[in-house]
A and B are shown apart, each in its own frame.
Chain A
Amino acid sequence: MQEPKIKFNNVTKIFKTNRQTITAVKDVSFNIDEGDFVSLIGPSGCGKSTVIRLLDDIIKPTQGDIYIDGEAIPKRKKISPEQIKKMGFIFQQPNLLPWMTVRQNVSLPLKVFGLKGKKWDDNVDRLIEMVGMTEYENAYPTEISGGMVQRVGVIRAMVHDPEILLMDEPFGALDEMTREQLNIELLDIWRKTKKTIIFITHNVEEAILLSSKSYVMGTNPGRIVAEVDIDLPRPRTLDMIITKKFIEYEEELTNLIGEIDLSKIK
């Protein structure tokens, strides 16, 4: 059997502050295969952002093991350069640095990783062209629109050619139209590059449109409550949203999330 690309084994994360102890996620286990497009969906506070931050070694788990390509992320030491280079993280806010131009922002990971040379410069060119920003590569983030800024955030995470993309509600702050367009662009990127993607959202429609599998997460403590395979044909298009099957999935996921909310009230 093929080794899963990403494996979580009973991962728990507890945040301790002076006043209280919060279990952000409890006993999270899952496997994600290479090239999969998986979404994590759930209400706010269910620990979905925590999951990908654990994977990206931004925070360390309290218990449990996380594996990438069968290799565990070290428990005490920093993640290895080889492992971190396999991942690109896309933030909820675009998180561009305002004192850098578009091109400098996109190149930032290359600078920190020490990746130099024509191959990487060409990669920057290619990505900027891919999202139609060549004209704006010397513009500063404050000079371009919200949709453009978020595109830059996406390609910055791809510039070092990672195998895995971690996306933390990347288009949540954008208007509906821009968001749909970026979702279609993302599907296109995924189809061409075959990267493994973990996509976090609280939008049911977005989760169904994009992913092959959706993990539904619940709160108190944050945990995975259901796993739903989204068996819709590829390539996905926006007009699928009104098909019967799509609406059925929408109901199923909405109900699952609704049950979580009900149990919270109780």
Chain B
Amino acid sequence: MKRREKLIGIIAPIVMFLLLFALWEVVLKVFDIPRWILPGPIAIFQSMIVNFMDFWPHIWMSIVTIFSGFAIAVPIGIVLAALITNYKLLNAALDPYIIFLVVTPLVTLVPLLMYFLGFGINVRIIAVIIQSFAIVNMNAATGFNNVERIRLELMSSVRANRLQAFSRVIFPSSLPDVFTGIKLCGIFATTACVSVEYVGGNEGLGSQIIRYTQFINTEKAFACIFFVAIIGITLYSLISFAEKKIIKWSI
């Protein structure tokens, strides 16, 4: 029974995927939509493979930006959450700014960041960090604050100090929330990276999407969008996999 469910979980999305793309092709044929407005998925896949070497440097650049920004944002978010949930003053001082960072669309800051720091990959990584650490921070802080009281009492009953209580009870208890934050961070990092690449420079998939669209080369633009999607899905799947391995107890 369980194996069957697993099998369905793998097959159903693939069937759906094929159906969607088949529908897409059919619609293009029936309404006779020209290729330069909307190419079909087959043409896009062809372009992804045939022109792969043209895309590759930009794919790699985006991967490096997303993954390094993500890898820095996650620990910053978690450590900051640990600090603000332990020290009320720090929380009061920082809380409004973290909300500010979450709700402000990053694209509004990017031109200024580039004005200050130039167009290199460092700016893009910084932008990714700024956009994505706050969401980890918010979710982790929620987790740290919502640990069952009875578990904290258990730690009081053995006179645990703050560090012991945090490492033995608070952190593991809040791992489900922390992972929600990390997943969102992965999504935010991908979005942020492409947004920054849109705004400036000529490196990364975002810049290529803009370029090919301007040249009405929609096939290649779509190819880049698909690569972005693949990177995003891969990152998300990696996080989900890690979550399943680490949080075995919460089924």
What is B's interface to A at a CB cutoff of 8 Å? 150-151, 153-160, 164, 168-169, 172, 247-251
Contact = CB atoms under 8 A, between A and B. Distances in A.
A108 B154 CA distance: 10
Contacts of A109: 158
A56 B157 contact: yes
A81 interface: yes
Interface string A56-96: 11100000000000000000001101001001110111010
A167 to B, nearest CB: 12
Given A91-B153, A142-B249, A97 B172 contact: yes
Interface of A: 53, 56-58, 78-79, 81, 84, 87-89, 91-93, 95, 97-99, 108-109, 111-113, 140, 142, 157, 160
A112 B150 contact: no
State the main secondary structure of chain B at its contact with A: helix
A50 to B, nearest CB: 12
Given A95-B150, A97-B151, A98-B250, A87 B157 contact: yes
B166 to A, nearest CB: 12
Contacts, number: 55
Contacts of A98: 249-250
Nearest to B164: A112
A99 B158 contact: no
Contact of B159 (A79, A92, A99): A79
A64 B143 CA distance: 36
Contact of B156 (A56, A97, A99, A140): A56
Contacts of B169: 97
A91 B153 CA distance: 9
B155 A112 contact: yes
A165 to B, nearest CB: 11
B159 A57 contact: yes
A108 B158 contact: yes
B176 to A, nearest CB: 11
A112 B168 contact: yes
Contact of B151 (A57, A95, A160): A95
Contacts of A108: 158, 168
A142 B249 CA distance: 8
B155 to A, nearest CB: 7
A97 B249 CA distance: 10
A84 B154 CA distance: 12
B150 A91 contact: yes
Given A97-B172, A99-B249, A112 B153 contact: no
A97 B169 CA distance: 8
Nearest to B173: A97
B135 to A, nearest CB: 24
A89 B172 contact: no
A108 B157 CA distance: 11
A53 to B, nearest CB: 7
Given A57-B156, A58-B157, A88-B157, 12 more contacts: A56-B156, A79-B159, A84-B158, A89-B157, A95-B154, A97-B172, A99-B247, A108-B158, A109-B158, A112-B158, A112-B164, A113-B159
A4 B105 CA distance: 66
B40 to A, nearest CB: 49
A65 to B, nearest CB: 20
A93 B168 CA distance: 19
B159 A91 contact: no
A160 to B, nearest CB: 8
Nearest to A111: B168
A99 B168 CA distance: 10
Contacts of A142: 249, 251
Contacts of B168: 97, 108, 111-112
B50 to A, nearest CB: 49
A98 B247 CA distance: 10
9 contacts: A56-B157, A81-B159, A84-B159, A88-B157, A89-B154, A89-B157, A99-B247, A112-B164, A113-B158
